[in-house]
Structure 1
Amino acid sequence: MTMSHNTTTFFDLIRHGEPAGGPMFRGSKDDPLSDTGWQQMNAAITDEDQWDLIVTSPLLRCRAFATQLAEQRRIPLHQEPRLREIAFGDWEGRTSDSIMADTPEALTRFWSDPVSYPPPGGEAITEFRQRVASAWQHWQRQATGQRVLVVCHGGVIRMVLAEVMSIPSERSFSALNVPYACRSRIRVDESEHGRLSCLQMHGR
């Protein structure tokens, strides 16, 4: 008689805190966290939190906090380049207000349907989702049975949750609010019936 083999993996996704320079379309622009951003991240983590592994975007606003936490708690740390934020092209470094002043319809269309109306010169949503999904699949295999903290970006979290919850790419940006230092917990169960993932918690 064969024994069934079930494993459960937990992923805690956390968005970076406020970066230096204030709100803007940052994308691949590599700003560090502000003092407020550090406070937000430290407040979002508790002594009760326990992880076996930390995975981080290579961008400084994620990596610096992930590195500090990994050193403090002696947890293995992996940088995952596929978890960097979407590249916003011509919008990088600009605020919503400045884009609205120039091309208001462009921003409105992007939020309602980013697939059809990507940022000018930016990364296509379909390609962004594909690279995030490939990282997500990889770490589900790599970290089976462990508790994993993923330090990443608002866009990345939206893509992972879109995969878990089968949200179409057209709705992926507008369907979820992901503020600074927002945490999401995903439970992944694997059995002889396959892999089942569900969102257990989302918010601050």
Structure 2
Amino acid sequence: MNTTIIDLIRHGEPEGGPMFRGSKDDPLSTKGWQQMQAAVTDEDHWEVIVSSPMARCRRFAEKLAEERNIPLHIADNLREIGFGEWEGLTAEQVQKRYGDQLDKFWRDAIHHIPPGGEPVTDFHQRVTDTFNHWQEHLAGQKVLVVCHGGVIRMVLADILGIPLARSFTGLAVPYGCRTRIRVDQSEFGTFRSMLSLTPGPNP
């Protein structure tokens, strides 16, 4: 039996506050740094870190990897979903400019993507392909993945069998939230399960 433990942690609050910022590369705010620092403890003993390339993930991952002297890999395909014309807008601004498109997106993210946005099916494919790559490449280790709410939703949708159309509303993933995945590989196959989901701190 080969067991891999993968902790996924969502980045903290970015500068500029809540908005659709899939590919908008804002750094963490002061509060965001506090949330991330509060989300990890001295009892965490990861052997390797994998991070999204976005500043709100990468800079914390780099700092933690340096402090703990562990390897860091940057995975470009763990970046957040692209929200197209909604990038940089708050939910209120989207509703004002695009009418009921936001409500339709929350109800069925597959068939109601933002104008110019990344299709959820494409996003799911790139995230799960990347997650599976690192799961196999780092088999048997304790891994920290620093990423985004959408990325975590795609991983959990895949593991728990949640329909993609409901994946953005069916799972709440707050800033600094931690999710632990266990992967067991044996002669009988590969079995993956969610061990825990811990709400993020709110200092």
**Band the TM-score falls in, shorter-chain normalisation:** over 0.9
Matches within 5 A, 1:1-204: 6-204=1-199
| TM-score, structure 2 normalization | 0.97
Distance 2:110 2:5 in 1: 30
Give the drift of 1:112: 1.0
- How many percent identity over aligned positions? 58
Letter in 2 for 1:35: T
Distance 1:195 1:139 in 2: 14
Distance 2:101 2:162 in 1: 22
Determine if contact 1:162/1:169 at 8 Å carries over to the other structure.
Answer: yes
Give the drift of 1:77: 0.1
Letter in 2 for 1:9: T
Give the drift of 1:102: 2.3
Aligned-residue CA RMSD (Å): 0.6
Distance 2:170 2:187 in 1: 32
Aligned length: 199
- Cα deviation per residue 1:118-163 (whole Å; 9 max; x = unaligned)? 1111000000000001001101110110000000000000000111
Give the drift of 1:203: 2.3
Distance 1:196 1:171 in 2: 24
Give the drift of 1:15: 0.2
Letter in 2 for 1:162: A
Give the drift of 1:14: 0.2
Q: Secondary structure at the match of 1:202?
A: strand
Letter in 1 for 2:7: D
Give the drift of 1:103: 2.4
| TM-score, structure 1 normalization | 0.96
Determine if contact 1:178/1:203 at 8 Å carries over to the other structure.
Answer: no
Distance 2:184 2:106 in 1: 32
- Cα deviation per residue 1:38-88 (whole Å; 9 max; x = unaligned)? 000000000000101100000000000000000000010000001000000
Distance 1:203 1:52 in 2: 21
